[in-house]
Amino acid sequence: MKIYTNDNNTATLKLLIAANLAGKKIELKKATFEDVSAGPKALPLLEVDDQLSFFSSNAAAQYLFPVLDLSQNGQCQQMQEWEATRLQPTTAAVLMSKSVASDLKQALNSLLLMVDGLLKTHKYIIGDKLSAADISIWSTLYPLCHNKDYQKQYLAECPNIMRWADELGSAKAIQEAVQQWGGSVEGPFAPTSALGIPQFTNMVSPVGTPESQEISITAEEIEAAKENWINGVKNLQEPLKKQDVILPVKGRRNVLITSALPYVNNVPHLGNIIGCVLSADIFARYCRLCDYNTLFICGTDEYGTATETKALEEGVTPREICDKYHTIHEAVYRWFDIGFDYFGRTSTPEQTEIAQKMFLKLMDNGFISKQSVDQQFCERCQRFLADRFVEGTCPHAGCGYEDARGDQCDACGRLVNAADLVRARCKLCAAPPALRASEQMFLELGQLEPALRAWAAGAAGGWSGPARAVSRGWLREPLRARAVTRDLRWGVPVPLPACRDKVFYVWFDAPIGYLSITQCATGQYEKWWKKDKDYDVKLYQFMAKDNVPFHVVMFPATVIGVNEGHLLVDHVFATEYLNYEDGKFSKSRGVGVFGTDAQETGIPSDVWRFYLTSIRPETSDSSFSWAELGTRNNSELLNNLGNFCHRSLSFCANTFKGVVPDAELTAADYELFALVNREVAGFVQHMEKGRLREALRCVLSVSRLGNQHMQSSQPWVLLRGDEQDKARGAAAVCVCCQLAALLAALLAPFVPRAAARLRDQLRLTPDQLRINPENPSLIQYLPPGHVIGKPEPLFAKLEPEMLEKLKAKYAGTQSERAKKQNGAAKGAAPAGAAELEAAVAAQADKVRQIKSSTKDKAVVQPEVDKLLALKKQLAAAQAQESRGAQGAPTGVNDVANLEKAIAEQGEKVRKLKASTKDKSVWQPEVNILLALKKQLADAQAQPEAGQSPTSVASVASVASLEKAIAEQGEKVRQLKASTKDKSVWQPEVNVLLDLKKQLAALQVKQ
Ligand SMILES: [Zn+2]
Ligand SMILES: [Zn+2]
């Protein structure tokens, strides 16, 4: 047996102590870069033989000395879990930081006090017997207990820890282990990750302090676990019937979910995505998992000055701007797998009708007043100018920027009053505007305040912390009347003769978008939005903090004033802000990662969803970090979740031909179920309160419990033993597969693609994988005798090198990045064929080298893409040079050459595809083929010398292209019908799309 370790790693100490107690000889080996880059990235690694190795140090310690755990299995595992997820990361963070932040210090102190409390009443961590938990905790605290400075700082109030540490430390087996370990309490301390990737822990979440009585499972919990195991499937409610148009259903829980409507004039960034649409989507998927009757809507917010400004900048109409960005938003959300029931927009006739109706009703009820407002007016354009439409010299001392806007100066960043601008001018025509009085309609918020306060006092219980804080801030002072109309063109017209040139202010009509979008989705919005005696609807709204006032003050005031029984929001789930690395995401300056960027990284959408949820700013601002994205993917998705599911299913597939074995469950199994059920209950509780990050944590705990069960029951040993052992091994495999099925259900809201793949591998339907929110627990998802499908890995590793590259790529602002790219393109453009040939050769060398060092497509593919791009440029340059030298007629030759090259390349692709399913191998060749085909089409489309543009040749190619499209279309249909594996049919779809593009290009030319 060998342990691979780095220097001064306290987790290695755990293993050595366990081995010493068990009397096992162990060889200690320094891990080299190669050892580590081939295997898992966590150290130490315990290698038992070729077949078996452990990279969780607690599981390894248990393997080495299982007897330490026999007495009180559940308690010991729970303590070790706590040690691994709370104590160890916090201690490591303290030991490895130069100056310790106060919240970190506080977190460690509270953990230590908890341990001290346990040791006050008992000799050891769990009662009066030494257990594996003692060894784990003792090893982790070794530097703290034996370094005088740390002792003084952290253990001054923990006499019981010191007593216990000294006592254990005097044991011979432990002393020998410490000697073999050879580390120093002076540091520096090794990270448990081998290559120095920082291990992150979330300090802002409440640090758990399991009380000793909470650790032990009660008899009631075990009884309930048993009951749910036996009758849980039976007790699920009837699956909800699918409706073509989703309307509330009597006798079911009806849930209406909205995500704040994104403003249409730009591309959403990751902060916007986690704050609104992704959070709402995770919740909506959870609701469907519980079989709630769910309607999830969203859409683009399209009216207002910002759209008009953007239209002006791009030289198009506001409608065109909206169409363009609506499409971009929709595509970004589709890529992130946001499963809206309907994604609409606010610039619709439905919006006009409902907004006007509500406004007139407010007026009837006496909540609208008229006031005169001074505003900038341009004589030449004959229109009032919104603040953004007035420009001039910044009035702030020391700035003097000449292109400051009427709302803000981009040079000094300060707010500006349009009337204060020096030498103000109209943004449209540059004429100087003048102040002119204009009559506007106001909503009398003050009159609505008492009713609003009464409602908020009762409703705020269902709101998230940030939402309550904002609401309290707003209601602290008396509310003032607020203008609901403006002198603008792009908006919902005000339905009064005196207001012919006015539209509604966007703050007033945007929330009405929820109603009009529901109308577009169902044709009967009032069924959802007005109270009905026959059924109940609960309204859940997701948004970022800055949007809260409109949802808890302004819109509710409108609804109360209209007084027609509209729904008021029950749950406002607002988030704080997400920062980018060390700065802020900024749409206007283009800082951070945007929805379209995420797609280009090649990192699957599931990984983005998982990571963004794990840093969701629920209680305070949080930060996006590329390094952390990698760590979470590799340690949690891949090592914890992915490996557990894949190992469990593989045991079932390999040893039992895929038939889930019968299990005689023991008391210990039901204890495990009871522990799992605590996590499932936690998952439901957190979800219902909109704490998605905490819910995800519970899912990961289920997987950790599963991993622990597999490590401690060791089916790979049992299945080789006698009949009794074999039965126990079969039971362990059955339990692990059932836990994998539970995970397929719990993961569905967060990583829908991976969850669906796992579900397919388990051969279960979505109806079979539901949760009972009334009684959340593990149920027998896999019926006796159920046969599962072929296990496949669910997640892939992300290389730190690639993440470093991405971090560099997305540094700075979007315009800086664009400049960098343009610069590169310009530098390469004038290159001749000879230079390009050299570049292609050099790049090809590089690709070969990388391919020999790694199989990771994420690393290889960008270089391959570069190579392909160079090859394309080379082909184009060669074609140009030959055309230039020999005149037009060579076009015919080009066509013949290209046809030959295509035939050869086609053959190559066919052979490759027959030999391997690995897309990373054949995709580059397919790309070359596609590029060649495109060149051929271009060559054919080029009118030859002496022929008219509508040459016979090109007409012929239209006909042949149409034929090719029909054939290719048929091929795609057949492939799609035969398999769901996108990697099989996507290349054919690409060929089809390419053909269609060629046809369109030809038709335009003619
Ligand atoms: Zn300024
Ligand atoms: Zn003007």
Cα 423 to ligand 1 centroid, rounded to whole Å: 14
Residue with the larger pLDDT of the pair 407 and 557? 557
* Kind plus residue range of the DSSP H or E element containing 543: strand 537-544
563 φ/ψ sector (left φ>0, alpha ψ -120 to 50, else beta): left
Cα 640 to ligand 2 centroid, rounded to whole Å: 63
CA distance 895 to 940: 7
Cα 421 to ligand 1 centroid, rounded to whole Å: 10
Residue 255 has pLDDT above 50, yes or no: yes
Cα 493 to ligand 2 centroid, rounded to whole Å: 22
Least confident of 261-265, 550-554, 851-855, 995-999: 851-855
Residue 783 is predicted with a pLDDT of 93
Residue with the larger pLDDT of the pair 547 and 101? 547
Residue 208 has pLDDT above 50, yes or no: no
Cα 378 to ligand 2 centroid, rounded to whole Å: 5
Residue 762 is predicted with a pLDDT of 98
Cα 79 to ligand 2 centroid, rounded to whole Å: 72
Cα 584 to ligand 1 centroid, rounded to whole Å: 21
Residue whose structure tokens are 């079969």: 730
Cα 3 to ligand 1 centroid, rounded to whole Å: 63
Cα 339 to ligand 1 centroid, rounded to whole Å: 43
Cα 799 to ligand 2 centroid, rounded to whole Å: 55
Least confident of 428-442, 619-633, 709-723, 838-852: 838-852
Cα 334 to ligand 1 centroid, rounded to whole Å: 40
Cα 545 to ligand 1 centroid, rounded to whole Å: 27
* Kind plus residue range of the DSSP H or E element containing 482: strand 482-483
Cα 432 to ligand 2 centroid, rounded to whole Å: 8
Cα 502 to ligand 2 centroid, rounded to whole Å: 18
CA distance 31 to 374: 74
Cα 390 to ligand 1 centroid, rounded to whole Å: 14
Task: Identify how many contiguous H helices and E strands the chain contains and give both numbers.
Answer: 41, 21
Residue 206 is predicted with a pLDDT of 31
What amino acid is encoded at 369 in this protein?
S
Cα 419 to ligand 1 centroid, rounded to whole Å: 14
Cα 395 to ligand 1 centroid, rounded to whole Å: 7
CA distance 513 to 505: 13
Cα 417 to ligand 2 centroid, rounded to whole Å: 18
Cα 421 to ligand 2 centroid, rounded to whole Å: 16
Query: pLDDT > 90: what percent of the chain?
Result: 45
Ligand that comes closest to the CA of residue 420:
1
Cα 424 to ligand 1 centroid, rounded to whole Å: 14
Residue 964 is predicted with a pLDDT of 79
Cα 392 to ligand 1 centroid, rounded to whole Å: 10
Model pLDDT for residues 629-643, shown as the tens digit of each residue: 998 999 999 999 999
Cα 417 to ligand 1 centroid, rounded to whole Å: 11
CB 278 within 8 A of CB 268: no
For residue 497, say if its preceding peptide bond is cis, omega within 30 degrees of 0: no
Residue whose structure tokens are 């052979």: 911
Ligand that comes closest to the CA of residue 382:
2
Torsion of Cα atoms, 149 then 135 then 24 then 193, to 10°: -70
Residue 49 has pLDDT above 90, yes or no: no
Least confident of 266-275, 534-543, 578-587: 578-587
Cα 56 to ligand 2 centroid, rounded to whole Å: 70
Cα 426 to ligand 2 centroid, rounded to whole Å: 5
Cα 436 to ligand 1 centroid, rounded to whole Å: 25
Cα 430 to ligand 2 centroid, rounded to whole Å: 6
Which of 50-54, 320-324, 624-628 reaches the highest mean pLDDT?
320-324
Ligand that comes closest to the CA of residue 376:
2
Q: Cα dihedral sign for 509, 515, 520, 525?
A: negative
Cα 405 to ligand 1 centroid, rounded to whole Å: 9
Closest CA to 719 of 654, 644, 636, 775: 654
Cα 317 to ligand 2 centroid, rounded to whole Å: 17
Ligand that comes closest to the CA of residue 430:
2
Residue 938 has pLDDT above 80, yes or no: no
- Would you call 591 helix, strand, or coil by DSSP? strand
Cα 386 to ligand 1 centroid, rounded to whole Å: 19
Q: Which residues of 618-635 are buried (b: 16+ CB within 10 A; e: fewer)?
A: bbeebebbbebbbbbbbb
Rounded average pLDDT over 654-682: 94
Least confident of 237-246, 461-470, 520-529: 461-470
CA distance 550 to 57: 50
Cβ within 8 Å of residue 642, ≥6 positions away: 793, 794, 795
Residue 340 has pLDDT above 60, yes or no: yes
Burial of 221 (0-12, 13-18, 19+ CB in 10 A): middle
Rounded average pLDDT over 502-530: 96
Q: Facing residues of 42 across strands?
A: 193
Cα 314 to ligand 2 centroid, rounded to whole Å: 18
Torsion of Cα atoms, 459 then 461 then 464 then 466, to 10°: 80
Residue 432 is predicted with a pLDDT of 94
Closest CA to 289 of 717, 781, 735: 781
CB 345 within 8 A of CB 325: no
Ligand that comes closest to the CA of residue 384:
2
CB 803 within 8 A of CB 629: yes
Residue 947 has pLDDT above 70, yes or no: no
Residue 508 has pLDDT above 50, yes or no: yes
Sorting pLDDT into bands at 50, 70 and 90, what band is 36? Answer: very low
Residue 915 is predicted with a pLDDT of 66
Least confident of 87-91, 572-576, 702-706: 87-91
Rounded average pLDDT over 931-945: 63
Ligand that comes closest to the CA of residue 431:
2
- Would you call 608 helix, strand, or coil by DSSP? helix
CA distance 426 to 957: 53
Cα 415 to ligand 2 centroid, rounded to whole Å: 23
Name the pTM for this structure: 0.64
210 φ/ψ sector (left φ>0, alpha ψ -120 to 50, else beta): beta
Cα 272 to ligand 1 centroid, rounded to whole Å: 28
Q: What token pair was written down for 50?
A: 């070729």
Cβ within 8 Å of residue 600, ≥6 positions away: none
Closest CA to 43 of 145, 193, 172, 168: 193
CB 905 within 8 A of CB 928: yes
Rounded average pLDDT over 46-60: 71
Residue 134 has pLDDT above 80, yes or no: yes
Residue 983 is predicted with a pLDDT of 66
Ligand that comes closest to the CA of residue 411:
1
Ligand that comes closest to the CA of residue 402:
1
Residue with the larger pLDDT of the pair 923 and 501? 501
Report CA Rg, the chain: 33
Ligand that comes closest to the CA of residue 383:
2
Cα 398 to ligand 1 centroid, rounded to whole Å: 8
Residue 872 has pLDDT above 90, yes or no: no
Cα 735 to ligand 1 centroid, rounded to whole Å: 66
Sorting pLDDT into bands at 50, 70 and 90, what band is 447? Answer: very high
Residue 386 has pLDDT above 50, yes or no: yes
Least confident of 155-164, 190-199, 223-232, 709-718: 190-199
Cα 312 to ligand 2 centroid, rounded to whole Å: 13
Ligand that comes closest to the CA of residue 427:
2
Ligand that comes closest to the CA of residue 410:
1
Ligand that comes closest to the CA of residue 433:
2
Rounded average pLDDT over 644-673: 94
Rounded average pLDDT over 573-589: 79
Cα 389 to ligand 1 centroid, rounded to whole Å: 16
Ligand that comes closest to the CA of residue 380:
2
Cα 380 to ligand 2 centroid, rounded to whole Å: 5
Ligand that comes closest to the CA of residue 398:
1
Cα 407 to ligand 1 centroid, rounded to whole Å: 11
Cα 396 to ligand 2 centroid, rounded to whole Å: 24
Q: What token pair was written down for 622?
A: 């949080």
Least confident of 9-13, 194-198, 427-431, 750-754: 194-198
Ligand that comes closest to the CA of residue 385:
2
The CA–CA distances, whole Å, from 747 to 334, 677, 708, 907 equal: 19, 15, 19, 42
Half-sphere exposure of 117 (CA within 13 A, CB side): 11
Cα 381 to ligand 2 centroid, rounded to whole Å: 4
Burial of 726 (0-12, 13-18, 19+ CB in 10 A): middle
Cα 396 to ligand 1 centroid, rounded to whole Å: 6
Rounded average pLDDT over 306-335: 92
Cα 492 to ligand 2 centroid, rounded to whole Å: 23
Q: At what angle do helices 692-713 and 723-747 cross, to 10 degrees?
A: 170
Ligand that comes closest to the CA of residue 428:
2
Please provide the DSSP assignment of 290-342 as one string.
Answer: TT-EEEEEEEEB--SHHHHHHHHHHTS-HHHHHHHHHHHHHHHHHHTT---SE
Ligand that comes closest to the CA of residue 392:
1
Cα 475 to ligand 1 centroid, rounded to whole Å: 33
- Would you call 728 helix, strand, or coil by DSSP? helix
Please provide the DSSP assignment of 860-911 as one string.
Answer: HHHHHHHHHHHHHHHHHHHHHHHHHHH-TTHHHHHHHHHHHHHHHHHHHHHH
Rounded average pLDDT over 779-802: 94
Q: What token pair was written down for 689?
A: 């309160």
Ligand that comes closest to the CA of residue 425:
2
Ligand that comes closest to the CA of residue 408:
1
Cα 36 to ligand 1 centroid, rounded to whole Å: 54
Kindly report the average pLDDT of the chain as a whole number: 83
